[in-house]
Amino acid sequence: MLLEQGDTVVPFFVVTAGEVQIVRPSGTDETFVTGIGPGQFTGEANMISGRRALVRIRASQTGEVIELDRANVLALVQTDGELSEILMRAFILRRLSLVARGLGDVVLVGSNHSAGTLRIKEFLSRNSHPYSYIDLDRDADVQNLLDHFHIAAADVPVLICRGEAVLRNPTNQQVAGCLGFNDAIDQTHVRDLVIVGAGPSGLAAAVYGASEGLDVLVLETNSPGGQAGSSSKIENYLGFPTGVSGQELAGRAYTQAQKFGAQVMIAKGATRLACDRKPYAVELDNGARIPARAVVIATGVEYRRLPLENLARLEGAGVYYAATFVEAQLCGEEEVIVVGGGNSAGQAAVFLAQTAKRVHILVRSGGLAETMSRYLIRRIEETPAIVLRPYTEIVALEGGDHLERVRWRNNQTGKIEANNISHVFIMTGAVPNTRWLNGCVALDVTGFIKTGPDLSREDLSIASWPLARPPHLFETSLPGVFAVGDVRSGSVKRVASAVGEGSIAVSFVHKVLHE
């Protein structure tokens, strides 16, 4: 036995003679994943992330292997371009294959009618963590499993970790804890750079910071990828002529940041910035304090919620804020509503129209021309399954455990219509995630962070700016604290600009660290 599922120290093996087998244990059974022969090597994405082993590795015959520890593998991929390409490619593709085949260390027992199930599925998918899913409503032999683990149907969603721990309707933090997502991360030493938020801007800052030798820690409330991670297809990001799903882009950036040595804490949000003395410290929702010599705030924005009764109860049970394959599967061929006239609404409508019977786009204004890119408007016009409803807004959401009916009003005629539609995608603009900053940095009137030349003399005097030099580009009213991407006042709300800002900020972080 070379490695057991759940082991925290995961070595890398090159087989020189014989064969090793990769298997996924489940109870007393094993599922064969693959065999590795002479000249081939073991390892998948957790070789880079430092997380627990998802599989068991054992020799199937007498043989010989070369063993390297993870630190040596990381050193190899950082210094040897040729080996890096071979290893990184194999690790990423192997993880994708495990995800596609549902071969991991967790089983999710849930129901498509439960918001908690959708949340956990999204959390696992967006962290590229493979899982098998058992649907309480559809899988006939689920009763044996429920009996074995003493689970009642009312407990779902239930997560069974490595066949040992049974978590009933766990929070994302509990899922991350059980799967050991953050186990390898030291939370005590002073970091050169703490990045808050792992959307495109935060991940870009992590890639550039870590690749240039900084000791980087990224904190993420939820999963890597941010808003971009919830996009089904990004078509205007440079270098992807056929488009790229937000999740794929985020997954690659996440692995890339880790390859250079950045550490990323998942499901650990910043709740406060301790800014009264240096080094600054970022406080986490579990009470921990991470000291930092410089900070990049990349917390982006989150969607506005519609002022509707029942909304909170139906979120995840018919009301969604992202349109990815997970939600599209839930909608099947039914009718859906997309609310909003921006690019994210347009993308969602075009994507959902591939499977849904009809997609209604509801906008309060008279059309899309002022808010959506021309290429998306054209695509909407050319898609017969999409119906644009201008001057229209939702006035009521109705249903029990799941959304069943939507009432919308045409504001020109005043007419209210009831429709038996069970899926609504809300994409109606966003508010910045800056509440946690609690007065540490200057904000504009809408709550976005002011930086660099946007900071007026008055802003700097109120903030008691202590230095002779003015703030650098993307530097906030607090020296050494930067803001990038959508959370920054005046930024262009696009993936490319978020990535650009994250990478540029790092060059100023270097200057500040030498000050």
Under rule CB under 6 A, residue 270 binds ligand FAD: yes
Distance of closest approach, residue 273 Cβ to ligand FAD, in angstroms = 10
Site string for ligand FAD, 151-190 (x = CB under 6 A): ----------------------------------------
The two structure tokens encoding residue 445: 């009137």
Under rule CB under 6 A, residue 122 binds ligand FAD: no
Under rule CB under 6 A, residue 326 binds ligand FAD: no
Which position among 105, 122, 192, 220 is part of the footprint of ligand FAD (CB under 6 A)?
220
Treating both helix axes as pointing N-terminal to C-terminal, what angle do 246-259 and 81-101 enclose, rounded to 10 degrees? 140
Q: What is the DSSP string of 168-213?
A: ES--HHHHHHHHTTTTT---SSPEEEEEE--SHHHHHHHHHHHHTT
Q: Is residue 91 left, alpha or beta, with left meaning phi > 0 and alpha meaning psi from -120 to 50?
A: alpha
Cα 28 from Cα 495, distance rounded (Å): 46
User: Taking a C-beta distance cutoff of 8 angstroms, is the pair 386, 380 a contact?
Assistant: yes
The two structure tokens encoding residue 216: 């980087």
Distance of closest approach, residue 104 Cβ to ligand FAD, in angstroms = 23
Under rule CB under 6 A, residue 200 binds ligand FAD: yes
Under rule CB under 6 A, residue 344 binds ligand FAD: yes
Under rule CB under 6 A, residue 298 binds ligand FAD: yes
Distance of closest approach, residue 392 Cβ to ligand FAD, in angstroms = 21
Site string for ligand FAD, 345-384 (x = CB under 6 A): --x-------------------------------------
User: Taking a C-beta distance cutoff of 8 angstroms, is the pair 433, 301 a contact?
Assistant: yes
Under rule CB under 6 A, residue 209 binds ligand FAD: no
Distance of closest approach, residue 396 Cβ to ligand FAD, in angstroms = 25
Under rule CB under 6 A, residue 451 binds ligand FAD: no
Under rule CB under 6 A, residue 301 binds ligand FAD: yes
Under rule CB under 6 A, residue 498 binds ligand FAD: yes
Under rule CB under 6 A, residue 125 binds ligand FAD: no
User: Taking a C-beta distance cutoff of 8 angstroms, is the pair 299, 196 a contact?
Assistant: yes
Which position among 156, 495, 505, 509 is part of the footprint of ligand FAD (CB under 6 A)?
495
Q: Which is nearer to ligand FAD, 237 or 391 (CB)?
A: 237
Cα 396 from Cα 174, distance rounded (Å): 34
Which position among 211, 231, 245, 255 is part of the footprint of ligand FAD (CB under 6 A)?
231
For residue 120, CA distances in Å to 133, 170, 223, 258, 495 come to 11, 8, 11, 23, 25
R_g over Cα of the chain: 24
Which position among 16, 72, 143, 236 is part of the footprint of ligand FAD (CB under 6 A)?
236
Distance of closest approach, residue 182 Cβ to ligand FAD, in angstroms = 13
Residues with Cβ < 8 Å from 313, sequence gap 6 or more? none
Q: What is the DSSP string of 145-174?
A: HHHHTT--GGG-SEEEETTTEEEES--HHH
Identify the DSSP state of 324: S
Work out the number of other CB atoms within 10 angstroms of the CB of residue 378. 10
Q: Which is nearer to ligand FAD, 159 or 376 (CB)?
A: 376
Under rule CB under 6 A, residue 476 binds ligand FAD: no
Helix (DSSP H) and strand (DSSP E) numbers for the chain:
14, 26
For residue 159, CA distances in Å to 57, 132, 167, 422 come to 24, 10, 5, 26
Distance of closest approach, residue 266 Cβ to ligand FAD, in angstroms = 10
Which position among 127, 256, 299, 477 is part of the footprint of ligand FAD (CB under 6 A)?
299
Under rule CB under 6 A, residue 486 binds ligand FAD: yes
Under rule CB under 6 A, residue 199 binds ligand FAD: yes
Distance of closest approach, residue 237 Cβ to ligand FAD, in angstroms = 6
Q: Which is nearer to ligand FAD, 3 or 219 (CB)?
A: 219
Nearest to 254 by CA among 285, 284, 223: 223
- H-assigned helices in 264-388: 311-314, 325-331, 343-352, 374-381
Count of residues interacting with ligand FAD (CB under 6 A)? 38
Under rule CB under 6 A, residue 479 binds ligand FAD: no
Residue 176 exposed, middle or buried by CB count within 10 Å (0-12, 13-18, 19+): buried
Query: Of 59-67, 191-199, 356-364, 414-422, which part binds ligand FAD (CB under 6 A)?
Result: 191-199
Which residues contribute to the site for ligand FAD (CB under 6 A)? 196-202, 219-222, 226-228, 230-231, 234-237, 269-270, 298-301, 343-344, 347, 433, 436, 485-486, 493-496, 498
